[in-house]
Structures are given as C-alpha cells and as structure tokens.
Amino acid sequence: MSRAIEVEGLVRDFGGTRALDGVNLSVPTGQVLGLLGPNGAGKTTVVRTLATLLAPTAGRAWVGGFDVVREAARVREIIGLTGQYASVDEKLTGRENLILIGRLLGLKRAEAKARADALLADFSLEEAARRPAQTYSGGMRRRLDLAASLVGRPRILFLDEPSTGLDPRARRDLWHRVRQLQADGTTVLLTTQYLEEADALADSIVVLDQGRVIAEGTSAELKARVGARTLYVTVSDPAVAARAAEQITAVVGVQAQVDGDQISAPVQDPGLLPAVLRALDETGIEVAELGLRGASLDDVFLALTGHSGHFEPTASEDAA
Amino acid sequence: MNGLQQTLTLAWRSLVQVRRNPWELGDYSIQPILFLVLFLYVFGGAIAGSPDDYLEFVLPGVIVMNMMFVTVYVGHGLNTDLTRGVFDRFRALPIPRWAPLAGRILADVVKQALGIALLLAVGYLLGFRLATSIAHLLGMVVLVLVFAVAFSWVMVLVGVLARDPEHVQLFGFTALFPVTFVSSVFVPVETMPEWLQGFVYANPVSLLADAARALMNGGPAAAPALGSLLWALGIAVVFAPLSVYALNRRLARG
C-alpha cells in the first residue's frame, strides 16, 4: 500500500449546508500533506471523517487501506488524532492522561506507565508530569495532546490546526516534532490556516475553500501561481484609501484591495515600487508606510478564489 | 473481555478526576453530611418531637436524596467530555462505542456506594442503629444503586442536550430540588396538603425513600421496593434509548 490516505468524492452535509462538496485527496505513505484553508473551509470535517468520527454523506475514504466506514475499527488501530482544542482530560495529570490512553490501547499497567514516562521525557513534560493538565500552558498542553496521540505509535497521524493558539516558540517546537515524526516514517495530514506552516512542514499542499479543493501542489508551485510578492501601502488618512487604490491599480495592472488604511496588490515585478510612490505623490496622497512582503495565505487565496479567506492575522493569537 | 477492561479503565479515570476537583468531592461528602445534620437538628424537633426520633426517619431519606443529586455528575462529566473534545479522542481509539458511557456509569455506582457508606457511618455516629438485618441493609444499598443507574440515563440525556457543563448542573439541580423535596424524603406525606399528596405518592423518590426506610427500620418493604424497581425499569427503558439517540445525533452534527 503506497497510499496512506485516499479520498474519493467526499461529500458531507450538515442539515442543509454542504460542508464538503466532492473532495479528492491522496497522500503517499510517509509524506506530510498540508490541508490549507480558512475557517469553515471544511478542513476539520475532512479530518473527522478520516478519523472515523463522522460518516460521509457520499464518497469514500481509505486510511491505511481500510475503508473509514466499513472498517472503522481497523482504522482506529493505526491512527493518532490531535484535535483543534487540546483533547486531554484537564482533571488528570499529564502522566495519568498518557497512562489512560495506553491502558485503553491494551497495554499492561507497567507497559502503559513506561510508555507514558518515555513520552513525557520526549516532550519535555517530566517536571509537569504529576500536575493536572488544567495547570499547563497552551504549549505544554499541545505537547501533551500530541504525546497522547502517539501512545499507540500510529502509522498515520492527523493534526487538526496544531499550532493555533501557540506562541512562536511553542510553534517552532511543534514543527520540530512533526519533522521528527516525518523522519520516522509517519504519514501526517495536518490542517492549518497558515501558509507559513504548510510551507515549513508539508511535502504537498491542498487548498480547500467552501468544501472544495481549489488548488494543490507543492508550496513553490502554489506561490508561483499567485505572484511572488505583495505590495502594501498604508496611507496616513484612511479617507483617501480608495483613491490611492485606484492609483495603485493603474500602476501595477492588478485590482488593489483596500482594508481600512491599508491597500495591497500582488506584484511580480518589485521594480514597480518607485512608480507607485511617484503616482501617489503626484495625487497628493500622503503615504505612512510602503513595502513588499512575501505572499501570505490570504494573498494565495485572493489570487485563487477572488475573495478574501478571512484568515486570522497571525499564528500567535491565543485561541483559548 | 477487552471492552470490559477498557470500561474499568474509563471508570478508574472518572474516579481519579474527583480527587482533582474539590467541589465535586465536597458534593459527594460534605454536602450530604451537611443536609443530614441540618435537617436533623434544625427540623428534627419540629417534625418528630426530637432530633433523636427524627434520625431513623431522615437518614434513609437523605441517602435517597443524595443519590439523586450525585447522578447530576454523570451528565456533567459526559458534557465536559463532549465539549472539551475528550469524547472524540476516545471515539478515535480502538475501543467499543459503549465503553466511555459504561465507564462513567460504573464510576457513578462506585461513587454512589461510597456516598451511602459515608452517610451510614455518620448516621451511626449520630446514634442511628439498624432495626432490621445486614441483609436488609444490603438490599437497601442494592435498591438505591439500581435506581441510581436507571436514573443516570436521565442525566445522560441532560448531559447530551446541554450546551455546557454549567447548564447541566443548573438544570439538573433545579429539576431535582422539587422532585426530591416534594416526596416522603424529609417529612411524612400525611402532613402535606391533600392536593400535593397525589403527586408525592406517585413520585418514585417517595417510593424509594419508603422502601429504604422499611429496609432499615422495619415495616412492609416489598410494595415500595417493587414500585421503585418498576420505576427504575420504566425510566431506563425510556431514557436509555432516548439518550443514545440524542448522543448519536449530537456526534453526527460534527
């Protein structure tokens, strides 16, 4: 079996709403797939279906070669799942949480304890091992959650927005662990709202929007489709933002977007920068800030879908 | 066999939780003792002439009342697991679908048994002496536990339907107060207005309290015990499928 995850025409309705509308996915064994999309794109629904928590309305999916509906019990034996929120028991200590999972997976008491201690050491949680999980910081809790999903040494791991709510240091630490798992041969499907994260971890990326796959490829391939950079201009007076956008659109030849006092537009040629500045200067628009940045996921989205994805601005916002 | 082992593990987990939750621990220990002592010394004289005479009446009643209140934690714990994502983690593990619920109810039986033992011990210290036999006493314990398991299904339903754990507690206790107080738990039914007596006699809590009282103090126990068991059966037959249906619906909602 060279494909760890195979999804064909997956459809899922909630009441009258279609959350997934014919999703196809294929993840080769040992690879990391980044499932990228804004809130409500259907990322979590894909993960929950693959983790046997939700039955599909139509379409089929196989995990490790097992049908997620007909062979759900077999699927559960080979997967690990880390949800959007840390799904550990807050009242138990970190160690008790890991022992609990080990025992549920059929380990003997001594084996479960040994496995828990090894994982606690591995995830730098030894000092906090005997404290209730509710006293943990966001980063510690996410580490514990990841450790809990690794107790059974899963071949296939689902990480649903693993870095949401983590500060930059905790996020880098998490990325490091995902790379280790990848090196050990674990197949990983991770969902994220951050291009940066998909960029850093994924072998390939699938972009999901409103329940459909709208693009797939490597990070480099996606960025090439979007335009390498984004020009952004902040004007001193938000009242003139619309007028500034007209000027910028005229210069770069792509419709500029206005967000408050900030105007942005994708550009292929950084040499346009002086021309933009000149055009604004001639119209008497005062510029507070101007620059170029690498394409963000929002830019990718805008380019692929024509509408903003409404992503959270930074990865370090606390979701809790 | 495997499913049984996993149910025991999940029950262990529910019991370990209590250790970390002083409020819940207080609800299992301090609250019933407080109720017993308060009713005994504040109302005992007025109701039965003296606290000593009231003890044999009120102790079985407080045991039944406490059982009812403790069941709220079945719904509270289930709702916490559902809203916090712990339930999803369990469902993604290779364990039987019924194990998490079975583990919780089994843990509840243990908590209930400890609650009864605690109240009996405090009752003994306050001067209660068994008028029947150990076999009768064990019969009382089994009867109360059977009713507790059946009634837990009502709280499972509340736990599934409530938005968050706080609402489970709010709704659970609000609904349980009239049901337990408008019964024969604390006072003889004859002292209540006639229009209320019909409800009190029909209330399964009254039947259970009467049965517990008879099994501990003597008197005809068979009729109220049988009535309690029939109620328990009825509640389980209605609420167990309803709860499982509601749970599956909630889980399918995503």
Question: Could you tell me whether strands A156-160 and A79-82 are parallel, antiparallel, or unpaired per DSSP bridges?
Answer: parallel
- A228-294 folds as Alpha-Beta Plaits (3.30.70)
A248-257 long-range Cβ contacts below 8 angstroms, 24+ apart:
A248/A276, A248/A279, A248/A280, A250/A279, A251/A275, A251/A276, A251/A279, A252/A276, A254/A227, A257/A302, A257/A308
Q: What are phi and psi of A123, to 5 degrees?
A: -105, 20
Average pLDDT, chain B: 92
Given an 8 Å threshold on Cβ–Cβ distance, is B13 in contact with A55?
A: no
Percent of chain B's residues with pLDDT above 90: 74
Domain count, chain B: 1
Residues B126-149 pLDDT 10s:
999 999 999 999 999 999 999 999
CA B148/CA B164 separation, integer angstroms: 23
- ipTM of this complex > 0.90? no
Domain regions of chain A by residue span: 3-224, 228-294
Say which residues have a Cβ less than 8 Å from residue A285's Cβ, sequence separation at least 6: A235, A240, A243, A244, A247
Interface with B, mutate which of A44, A45, A82, A87 (most B CBs under 10 A): A87
Given an 8 Å threshold on Cβ–Cβ distance, is B91 in contact with A132?
A: no
Residue-level pLDDT, tens digit, chain A, 320 residues: 479 999 999 999 998 889 999 999 999 999 999 998 888 889 999 999 999 999 999 999 999 999 999 999 999 999 999 877 658 898 999 999 999 999 999 999 999 999 999 999 999 999 999 999 999 988 898 899 999 999 999 999 999 988 887 888 888 888 999 999 999 999 999 998 887 888 889 999 999 988 999 888 888 787 777 666 788 889 888 888 888 889 888 888 888 888 888 888 878 777 888 888 888 888 888 888 888 877 666 666 667 766 665 554 443 333 33
Q: Which two tokens stand for residue A96?
A: 């008790």
Given an 8 Å threshold on Cβ–Cβ distance, is B13 in contact with A48?
A: no
Given an 8 Å threshold on Cβ–Cβ distance, is A73 in contact with B94?
A: yes
CA B16/CA A215 separation, integer angstroms: 48
Q: What is the CATH number of domain A3-224?
A: 3.40.50.300
Given an 8 Å threshold on Cβ–Cβ distance, is A51 in contact with B251?
A: no
Interface with B, mutate which of A39, A43, A47, A53 (most B CBs under 10 A): A53
Which residues on adjacent β-strands are paired with residue A231?
A265, A292
Find the domain containing B178 and state its range.
2-252
Residues A302/A257, Cβ–Cβ less than 8 Å? yes
Interface with A, mutate which of B19, B20, B78 (most A CBs under 10 A): B20
Residues of A in contact with B81 (CB under 8 A): 89
Residues A113/A131, Cβ–Cβ less than 8 Å? no
Residues A200/A11, Cβ–Cβ less than 8 Å? no
The residue in chain A having the minimum alpha-carbon distance to the alpha carbon of residue B24 is: A91
The residue in chain B having the minimum alpha-carbon distance to the alpha carbon of residue A80 is: B92
The residue in chain A having the minimum alpha-carbon distance to the alpha carbon of residue B85 is: A87
Given an 8 Å threshold on Cβ–Cβ distance, is B85 in contact with A79?
A: no
Residues A46/A26, Cβ–Cβ less than 8 Å? no
CB atoms within 10 A of CB A18: 16
Q: What angle, rounded to 10 degrees, do the helices at B134-161 and B204-217 form?
A: 160
Q: What is the amino acid identity at position B211?
A: A
Whose structure tokens read 């949480």? A97
The CA distance from B94 to the nearest CA of chain A, in Å, is: 5
B187-190 long-range Cβ contacts below 8 angstroms, 24+ apart:
B187/B47, B188/B57
CA A123/CA A139 separation, integer angstroms: 11
Given an 8 Å threshold on Cβ–Cβ distance, is A51 in contact with B13?
A: no
Given an 8 Å threshold on Cβ–Cβ distance, is A92 in contact with B2?
A: no
Say which residues have a Cβ less than 8 Å from residue A226's Cβ, sequence separation at least 6: A266, A295, A299, A300, A303, A304
Nearest to B16 among A51, A92, A149 (CB): A92
Nearest to A92 among B13, B89, B95 (CB): B13
CA B200/CA B190 separation, integer angstroms: 10
